[in-house]
Amino acid sequence: MKKRKYGLVLSLVLAAGTFLGACGNAEKEEGTQGNNEGTEDAFTVAMVTDVGGVDDKSFNQSAWTGLKEFGSENGLEQGTSGYHYLQSKNDADYATNLNTLVREDFNLIYGIGYKLKDAITTVAGQRTDTNFAIVDDVVELDNVASITFKEHQGSFLVGVVAGLTTKTNKIGFVGGIDSELINKFEYGFRAGVQAVNPDATVDVTYAGAFDKPDQGKTIAATMYGSGVDVIYHASGATGNGVFTEAKDIKKNDPDREVWVIGVDMDQAPEGELTLDSGETVNVTLTSMVKRVDVAVKDLAEKAKNGEFPGGEIIEYGIDENGIGIAPTQDNLTEDILSAVEEWTGKIQSGEIEVPKNEEEFNNFEL
């Protein structure tokens, strides 16, 4: 298919570069504690990942991209006197890592993911002189800013893509943990499929984890084996296994059409493979881009300028350029892109209200 870029909802240029490998719990990367010479009073910012890790090629990695961009634009170096992260190996690490960053006097500390809500609530309640932010949940404290997204809107759009692409009318959804947050992805996606292809069915499976790529691969194998030809995942690093399975199938049977719809970041790089013939192909159909990087950077700038929105909820959707379709659209036809643009307009105009839970989905009407 002819290569092309199509300006749709977002003008996305995700930061490139080599991402850090995982660091141990509450440990600093060797050689990363920059001096930031001449910037003793520089604004400092750090984040704690969830168990998916900073190199999950999804949610955490996008947040780290935003933090690195903030640091670069403000002349900061990575380390305790600039911008930094601590990686959580398990849920018990969340409070420990947050407290470690408080002791290191960071001005703003992010908890990446709703799983950090309890830890941030506890630590921020005790450390009232430090500002915190949580991504994907709400903590009602004056020193915490809550960042949320309208994931159901972007999921609806990739549902339109899936519904118009499937040849078997069998589509899959792989979620991480069955929760209010991931339900927004599921039901928004199912509504998008239904809107353009009411004959299609969506097989839904929750892995129960965001850090189990082997489990993601097993779920994908079952789905593809049952005739599913498009899978949308909202499962963090677990979704890496979905890509692995799709690429294995494609490599063994180049004529078979199997697709993955990525999440959070433009996951086109995860779907690329070289066939035995030497031809390079890509099983990533598109991605639902959730601009965690934009939100993290935006909030850090506000805090640095003395405008920290403590106690407030900041929501990013299509209108805020926080949600949309990835810029890599080589596998999408003109007709599909036109349909996505049409449905985007309907969402923005209020003509349709995208469902974000089961009740709203059951009452969804076009």
* Res. 184: pLDDT tops 80: yes
Cβ burial, residue 159 (10 Å; 0-12/13-18/19+): buried
Q: Which of 3-7, 184-188, 242-246, 351-355 has the lowest mean pLDDT?
A: 3-7
For residue 42, name the pLDDT band (cuts at 50, 70, 90).
Answer: confident
Arithmetic mean of pLDDT, 321-330: 94
Distance CA 233, CA 239 (A): 6
**Per-residue pLDDT, 36:** 42
Tokens (6 digits) for 111: 């908890």
* Res. 360: pLDDT tops 60: yes
What rounded mean pLDDT belongs to the chain?
Answer: 90
* Res. 164: pLDDT tops 80: yes
Arithmetic mean of pLDDT, 250-261: 98
**Per-residue pLDDT, 58:** 82
Over pLDDT 90: what percentage of the chain? 85
Contact 273, 279 (CB under 8 A): no
CATH class of 45-149+292-316: alpha beta
E-strand spans in 33-185?
45-48, 83-86, 108-112, 131-135, 144-149, 170-175
Give how far Cα 298 sits from Cα of 71, 90, 206, 225, 243, Å: 12, 28, 32, 43, 31
151-290+333-362 shares the fold of 45-149+292-316: yes
pTM for the predicted model, two decimal places: 0.80
Q: Which of 43-52, 55-64, 86-95 has the lowest mean pLDDT?
A: 55-64
* Res. 23: pLDDT tops 60: no
**Per-residue pLDDT, 56:** 84
> How confident is the model over 281-313, as pLDDT tens digits?
999 999 999 999 999 999 999 999 999 999 999
Residue 69, φ and ψ in degrees, nearest 5: -65, -40
**Per-residue pLDDT, 16:** 36
CATH class of 151-290+333-362: alpha beta
For residue 321, name the pLDDT band (cuts at 50, 70, 90).
Answer: confident
Instruction: Enumerate the domain spans of the chain.
Output: 45-149+292-316, 151-290+333-362
> How confident is the model over 191-244, as pLDDT tens digits?
999 999 999 999 999 999 999 999 999 999 999 999 999 999 999 999 999 999
